Structure 1
Amino acid sequence: MPRPPASTFGVAERVHVPPLLDGRLRDLLAGKKIAMTGVTGFIGEQMLWAFLNDCPETRTAVLVRPKGSVTAAQRVAQLLGKKIFKDLVAAAGSVEALMAERVEVISGDLPNVPELPRDIDVLVHCAGDVSFDPPIDQAFMTNVIGTKALLQRFLESASDADGNLERIPHYVHVSTAYTAGRRRGAIPEAPHVHEVDYDAEAAAALRMAEHVEARSRSSEQLTKLRKQAEALHRQAGYLTTSEDTERRRQEWVKQELVAAGTERARSLGWTDVYTFAKAMGERVVADMGKDIRVSVVRPAIVESSLRYPHAGWIEGFKMADPIILAYGRGQLPEFPASPDAVIDIIPCDFVVNAIVAVCATEPEVGSPEYYHCSSGARNPLTFRGIYEHVRAYFEAHPYTEGQGSTELATWNFPGVEPVARRMWLGEKATQAADKVLSFAPRGKRVRAMAAAVDRTKKQLSFLGKYLTLYGEYLQSELHFVDDSTLALHNSLHPDDRERFGFDSASFDWRHYLEEVHIPAITDPVRRLEAARKRRKNRSATFRPLKPASGNVLAAFDLDGTVMATNVVETYLWTKMPELSPLSRVGEMGKLLAALPAYLGAERRDRGVFLRSIYRRYAGADLGELERYVDERLAPLILDRMSPDAIRRIREHRDAGHTTILITGVIRPLTRPFEGLFDTIVAADLAVDADGRCTGFLSGPPMVGESRSSWLKHYASLHDIDLDQSYAYADSHVDLPMLGSVGYPVAVSPDIGLMRAAKQRGWSIIDWPSMSPIPRWKMPKA
């Protein structure tokens, strides 16, 4: 097939000729020192590999920031320990030897850039915030202020004490093709025309961050956030509520800054703050690089490698990958893209090869060169086209471990508005379902329904994110001219064409997508899902027990966890047998009349609810109550215990763990468990001088945060390692207790705890009671 013309957009005859290559890349770069930023990122990692692997006489330096207690050198050593560097490390003898010989580590960050070595010939700036929706201050701090700081240090490294350049180095800036903004049609490899002041925009972005932070701390905003947190976590306690309030405040700040960045970008003609800040960074480079050699490389959507370091090489998920996975899992019934819009994907090794080639050029001083690494101009792939390839792949290789339907959806590409309307209806339906489920009785079926609602929410959230972030990309009507990039490729030495080629028209989309890229992103997920299935969906928080090497405890809730009952039911067990049939009817009537108030109290504060129930014990003889439990109730109570719970408690005791029952149930009702637990923490009924219950407790009931506080105090007194300890509970109110140990387990949880457990990676198990006695059956007096 003949090669398509260099440009298909009727561009006038070129007057600008980009710098071309004259020799092999390894020879052109021999003896040079190339410094890089962003080597711990996707493109940067492969770029470092390419210089080390294919340019043996080239020295490298990398600017890497320390991360926590891990130094910059340690991070680089970890990077060189990855699989793609294996042969290089083996040839050098060790990671340390490779670093000593070829890789100089510069510890620093953007914008806190240290002094740079004075012998750098080429600086490749590949670092930057690559998120499409960063907060506006973060986007400008990294892509504008950070770029200015780096360039200033680079210029200083090439200058004498008076600031005069002693040599002319080459600065290569890795940007993005989408700095073109909301334009249409052909986008030339040239600077974008605009009059935006990047210094003013950067200063405004930082002021915006201060303004939003101050607004988040206003009494009105804090009240709103606190009430949202209380609606969800009031039962768990004030500390849990306050933690969630602060989390919501920080999330609100981030969302406001993301929204501010998006609106400012679109008001000036850019798609989002990412492309806006990147465009400002390009202008910084053009202004500050007037006395040196400057090249700007603009990749489009970078995905897995076609050939090097191996076919399908990729780090993490990129822009198109979540869509591909969601479709294969049956979680994406429709997509709001224009079927004929071009999705401009380019393999990572093509981008890296182009960067290496650009490093070997010598652009004219003061005249930046621009290169588009893209495919849309000469090898276009439409959304309809990628859909057909993805569908063909999953038809041949079904994704059987997905969470959705195994039947592949047929996309009709109806446009944005019909999909948005379906999303709005879906959101209303899930909100209504959530409301209904909040009043539903606890049970396995209700949890299954809640899980289905959560999956729908996740699906809607995913689609909503893509509509918000990538909506305009899904309707794209621009094409990136890549004449300079093609000319540079064509100037490659014949011996470099195979290894360093980057002609975007040279590969076939069916081969790349169906045989290289999609397997590269789905195979690891398939293996992970298979491993989870082998573990029967149990995470490490519910694990086989071994003899304790230190002091370990296992804390158990009672109602709904160890035993299938509740405080209202146990009250009836103790009260009803002593009453006549007529009095029983009266007691049940009083209880039913008070039930709405009890339920309201239970929703607001479980401690208040328990106190209300225990008021009904007023006048009872505590000694008689204990005797009645021992003689009559004990068999019924033990019968309601879950066999799985009993087995697990005994496993903990056999492992040498301290077993603790921690409950809001009154102490007399825990007497049957005294031989099973080492310690029992329960509610104590206050009595008068005659031993009769007053209707009050002798202390606050052990609920919510009281349980976690008790466990922490007990652990400190007995030298117990809570990080190695266990807790079992069924209610959202027990979040603090579960969160205080290293191995929390949600047992037959309510919806709130189920969701929290899934979010935090805790095990969720069922311990059903096997009691043959009906729940309505009362013990005999």
Structure 2
Amino acid sequence: MARPPASTFGAVDPTHGHVPPLLTGRIKDLLAGKKIAMTGVTGFIGEQLLWKVLTECPDTTTAVLVRRKGSVTAEQRVVAMLKKKIFKDLADAAGGPAELMAARVQVIEGDLPKVPDLPRDIDVLVHCAGDVSFDPPIDQAFMTNVVGTKALLTKLRESCSDEDGTLVRVPHYVHVSTAYTAGRRRGAIPEAAHVHSIDYEAETAAALAMAEHIEARSRSAEQLTVLRKQAEALHRQAGYLTTSEDTERRRLEWVKKELVQAGTERARSLGWTDVYTFAKALGERVVADLTHDMQVSIFRPAIVESSLQYPHPGWIEGFKMADPIILAYGRGQLPEFPASPDAVIDIIPCDYIVNGLVAVCATQPAVGEVEYYHGSSGARNPLTFRGIYEHVRNYFSQHPYTSGQGSTPLATWNFPGAEPIEKLMWAAEKGVKVGNKLLSFAPRGKRTRAIATSFDKTSKTLEFLGKYLTLYGEYLQSELHFVDDNTLALHNSLHPKDKERFGFDSAAFDWKHYMEEVHIPAITDPVRRLEAVRKRRQARAATFKDLKPAEPGTVLAAFDLDGTVMATNVVETYLWARLPELSPLRRMGEMASIAARLPLYLGAERRDRGVFLRSIYRRYAGADLEALEAYVDEKLAPLILDRMSPDAIRRIREHRDAGHTTILMTGAVRPLTRPFEGLFDTIVAAELATDEDGRCTGFLSGPPMVGESRSAWLNHYAKLHDIDLGASYGYADSHVDLPMLSTVGNPVAVSPDIGLMRAAKSRGWSIVEWPEMSPLPRWKMS
């Protein structure tokens, strides 16, 4: 978008049109002796606003509306905030954060829309709080931005009125909105009320009713069946409780997704880009309707990013709209982007917004006449998407995101538009889906896990792009610009001595300096440091740690057998134990029978591991249990121990040396665990039932120890022996062991299958590789 002529968007001519209230002196003098109340001070704009007032207006007191967070009181939260680096000088001068709060910051514990009574000496109320997500659930957006605003104004009126409800003191209400309340309009957006006929009361009622409707739908038999089957497809082997927990998680996610979609569609049906801007626009209408006898200013920031200068260059908390794009490009995750190269991305530094807000607080608007201000840059200092791309590319060319970026060149964006990228994403999503399906049948191993990891990375990139296309698609093709005549006029009225510390003329800074020397380093440097720390931790991951001696009997270490401690499976161990007592002819028959039924066994194993184990153990019918035990002791013991992972043996001994109780948990039959009795304090295994002659019946004497049975056993054992599970350890290789690993405080995924690998990564568990010994099958030995 070409830079508009100065005559179109220059400062307002005092002889034509509306003249905004201007400053009549220094800001600190205009606000001296006043109390400024604020909401949203735990957000980044509100926090800097509080810092600015406390720093630059020494004779001004403040009040902050802050909600309790769990057991942490509002005052405790404010003291914690005042301990931050930007408040250090102020806190030191006051004798400490608590002393600073006592002297100049009155804390009001409350929340929106449940606003408590407000102090009766408020002169200015700045409403910074509000849902800043572009895709909140529709009910949440309205409760915060419409119902919350109405409740706050009601309490402000009460605090300024006598017992009869008559306003006896005129407050100045400053409402922080967003420039994008303009919605899907095009062209110049004036600093004025947006013309529309939407009934905010009716829309609010409908939004809250929609939440009840969608919640009820989520609990219908039809929807729960769909969600339960999705959970079972992933977690059936782990057990019913794991499945039910995942079903409920999916239900809550479904409700949120439906509420977000309902809000988006309702907003777009009425001319707004999303429910965030829609609810903010209706919040402005609430302000206009309820403040006819007050002084009112509405401040509309565009996209607020890190500060240009104050409290220091690059100051910001959290990632804002443009930041994920910048980081993703630097990481090589964005080969192309669906923005219009000439569209303006209207970025404004945070300190310019805060300076403008403080200046607005110092004005005296006419009662009942709402004043509007745009905190934006696009009208007089436009930055296009091509421009930001060039700055970002230039920065990462000089400062590669990772030292190993090496031969991987930075992507060159050609800005082909949204449609080609959407088609490419559709094809990639289909490819990942098919690939994951095929992986579910692939043999376990490093290569399979590596392929799964690459699919996961691709899925995250696609999810990221999909989110940006959904949330910000229209912003990426924007054809509007915000007139900032009132804001510029206010800036020009600053006292000469306030120009430097309170200036907010958006045409007064250079984008190359701001993007390449201030903003991009501010968002990438912390990420670089965090990733460096993460790499150091990966050398010894968080849940796989050096063991320290513990009081004997207070900590346990539970180990799965197959695939964790040793390289084997129940079919193989069955053949080890069963074949030697059979004649050569019967051996061949048994092998052929196993091979013929293998597809059925695999199907059963996918559905329910307990059923699978029982079907295998039926084949022990007729075996002599005593002879089986003797054969294990005499022949199989050294061969079984030879199949153990050296890393597993080392780790088991480390736990024993540390005084930990070592436990082996396996679905294998008890006789096959006899060689491990010297390594483990307790062995939990499948018990074969026998008849009066000591021969196996083909049944178990109890349920197999798989899935949630292991978790239940560990919890019961820990209670009996007063063991701290939070300090305990667990080692397993299969997704079916997710309940077991979730029971202990230090779970470790050992050479995991894909399901467990993904669960471990999402939960921050350690993943280790324990190479396994793999000699010839032992049933060949006599």
**Pair in the same fold by TM > 0.5:** yes
Q: CA separation of 1:403/1:609 partners in 2, compared to 1, >3 Å: closer, same or farther?
A: farther
CA contact (8 A) 1:440 1:446 kept: yes
User: Deviations 1:92-117 (Å, cap 9, x if unpaired)?
Assistant: 11111101100000000000000000
Query: In the alignment, residue 711 of structure 1 is paired with which amino acid?
Result: L
Is structure 2 residue 8 aligned with structure 1 residue 7? yes
Query: 1:262-281 to 2 correspondence within 5 Å?
Result: 262-281=264-283
Cross-structure match for 1:307: 309
Query: In the alignment, residue 133 of structure 1 is paired with which amino acid?
Result: D
Q: CA separation of 1:375/1:99 partners in 2, compared to 1, >3 Å: closer, same or farther?
A: same
In structure 2, C-alpha distance between the alignment counterparts of 1:73 and 1:729, rounded to whole Å: 45
Cross-structure match for 1:224: 226
In structure 2, C-alpha distance between the alignment counterparts of 1:624 and 1:69, rounded to whole Å: 62
Query: 1:466-477 to 2 correspondence within 5 Å?
Result: 466-477=468-479
Which of 565, 581, 584 aligns to 2:587? It is 584
In structure 2, C-alpha distance between the alignment counterparts of 1:578 and 1:93, rounded to whole Å: 85
In structure 2, C-alpha distance between the alignment counterparts of 1:504 and 1:736, rounded to whole Å: 56
Cross-structure match for 2:337: 335
| Bigger mean CA offset, 400-409 vs 255-264 | 400-409
Query: In the alignment, residue 604 of structure 1 is paired with which amino acid?
Result: R
CA contact (8 A) 1:554 1:727 kept: yes
Query: 1:487-526 to 2 correspondence within 5 Å?
Result: 487-526=489-528
Is structure 2 residue 288 aligned with structure 1 residue 286? yes
In structure 2, C-alpha distance between the alignment counterparts of 1:255 and 1:6, rounded to whole Å: 46
After TM superposition, which residue ranges in structure 1, 4 or more long, deviate above 6 angstroms? Answer: 9-13, 401-405
SS at match of 2:314: coil
Query: In the alignment, residue 324 of structure 2 is paired with which amino acid?
Result: P
SS at match of 1:7: helix
Is structure 2 residue 576 aligned with structure 1 residue 573? yes
User: Deviations 1:109-164 (Å, cap 9, x if unpaired)?
Assistant: 00000000000000000000000000000000000000000000001111100011
Is structure 2 residue 459 aligned with structure 1 residue 462? no
Which of 669, 690, 695 aligns to 2:693? It is 690
Is structure 2 residue 761 aligned with structure 1 residue 758? yes
Shift of 1:14: 3.7
Query: In the alignment, residue 129 of structure 1 is paired with which amino acid?
Result: D
Structure 1: gaps (5+ residues): none
Shift of 1:405: 8.3
Is structure 2 residue 655 aligned with structure 1 residue 652? yes
Shift of 1:38: 0.1
Query: 1:327-726 to 2 correspondence within 5 Å?
Result: 327-400=329-402, 406-536=408-538, 538-548=540-550, 551-726=554-729
User: What is the number of residues matched between the two proteins?
Assistant: 778
Shift of 1:402: 8.2
In structure 2, C-alpha distance between the alignment counterparts of 1:140 and 1:723, rounded to whole Å: 41
In structure 2, C-alpha distance between the alignment counterparts of 1:126 and 1:644, rounded to whole Å: 56
In structure 2, C-alpha distance between the alignment counterparts of 1:552 and 1:405, rounded to whole Å: 48
| Bigger mean CA offset, 652-661 vs 346-355 | 652-661
CA contact (8 A) 1:538 1:764 kept: no
In structure 2, C-alpha distance between the alignment counterparts of 1:624 and 1:400, rounded to whole Å: 62
Query: In the alignment, residue 158 of structure 2 is paired with which amino acid?
Result: E
Query: In the alignment, residue 509 of structure 1 is paired with which amino acid?
Result: W
| Bigger mean CA offset, 628-637 vs 762-771 | 762-771
In structure 1, C-alpha distance between the alignment counterparts of 2:534 and 2:264, rounded to whole Å: 39
Q: CA separation of 1:537/1:163 partners in 2, compared to 1, >3 Å: closer, same or farther?
A: farther
In structure 1, C-alpha distance between the alignment counterparts of 2:176 and 2:11, rounded to whole Å: 28
Shift of 1:401: 6.3
Shift of 1:757: 0.6
Query: In the alignment, residue 249 of structure 1 is paired with which amino acid?
Result: R
Which of 115, 137, 140 aligns to 1:138? It is 140
Shift of 1:741: 1.0
TM-score (norm 1): 0.98
In structure 1, C-alpha distance between the alignment counterparts of 2:16 and 2:213, rounded to whole Å: 48
In structure 2, C-alpha distance between the alignment counterparts of 1:344 and 1:409, rounded to whole Å: 23
CA contact (8 A) 2:12 2:486 kept: no
TM-score (norm 2): 0.98
CA contact (8 A) 1:6 1:486 kept: no
Which of 185, 188, 201 aligns to 1:186? It is 188
Query: In the alignment, residue 733 of structure 1 is paired with which amino acid?
Result: V
Cross-structure match for 1:780: 781
Query: In the alignment, residue 370 of structure 1 is paired with which amino acid?
Result: Y
Is structure 2 residue 107 aligned with structure 1 residue 105? yes
In structure 1, C-alpha distance between the alignment counterparts of 2:69 and 2:624, rounded to whole Å: 64
Shift of 1:535: 2.1
Query: In the alignment, residue 6 of structure 2 is paired with which amino acid?
Result: P
CA contact (8 A) 2:145 2:283 kept: yes
Shift of 1:233: 0.4
Q: Percent identity?
A: 79
CA contact (8 A) 2:566 2:773 kept: no
In structure 2, C-alpha distance between the alignment counterparts of 1:314 and 1:594, rounded to whole Å: 63
Shift of 1:7: 3.5
In structure 1, C-alpha distance between the alignment counterparts of 2:465 and 2:385, rounded to whole Å: 16
In structure 1, C-alpha distance between the alignment counterparts of 2:558 and 2:405, rounded to whole Å: 33
User: Deviations 1:745-771 (Å, cap 9, x if unpaired)?
Assistant: 111100000001111111111111145
User: Deviations 1:318-348 (Å, cap 9, x if unpaired)?
Assistant: 0010110010000111110000000000000
Query: In the alignment, residue 653 of structure 1 is paired with which amino acid?
Result: R
Shift of 1:586: 2.3
Query: In the alignment, residue 688 of structure 2 is paired with which amino acid?
Result: L
CA contact (8 A) 2:374 2:482 kept: yes
Cross-structure match for 1:20: 22
Query: In the alignment, residue 357 of structure 2 is paired with which amino acid?
Result: I
SS at match of 1:367: coil
Structure 2: gaps (5+ residues): none
User: Deviations 1:680-699 (Å, cap 9, x if unpaired)?
Assistant: 00000011111011111101
Q: CA separation of 1:301/1:445 partners in 2, compared to 1, >3 Å: closer, same or farther?
A: same
In structure 2, C-alpha distance between the alignment counterparts of 1:671 and 1:116, rounded to whole Å: 73
User: Deviations 1:712-758 (Å, cap 9, x if unpaired)?
Assistant: 00011111111111111110011111111111111110000000111
In structure 1, C-alpha distance between the alignment counterparts of 2:562 and 2:701, rounded to whole Å: 21
SS at match of 1:105: strand
Query: In the alignment, residue 562 of structure 2 is paired with which amino acid?
Result: D
